[in-house]
Amino acid sequence: MGIHAGMRVQVTTASGEQVPMISVSDEVPGRDMPVVWVSSIDEYRVSQEAAYRTPWPSQYVRPDEIGA
């Protein structure tokens, strides 16, 4: 998949919206599916490794070509 911690990514929401985030993990096993832990860009800028994290299904996370 090519997602690594610290990478700028785009996540797809349930409504289909693309949201820029920062990955704070590689792809890891979740309870029901593989996930990537992500944080908002602003939160990551302020808190770095202590940033609030959200598990996102890895099938809906892709590298951000614009922010790369």
Give the global pTM: 0.86
* Residue type for position 7: M
CA distances from 7 to 31, 42, 61, 64 (A): 23, 14, 11, 8
| Whether pLDDT at 18 is above 80 | yes
Segment 6-17 shows an average pLDDT of 96
pLDDT, tens digit, for every residue of 21-66? Answer: 999 999 999 999 999 999 999 998 888 777 789 999 999 999 998 7
At 7 the pLDDT is 94
What's the full length of the chain, in residues?
A: 68
State the pairing for strand pair 34-40/8-12.
unpaired
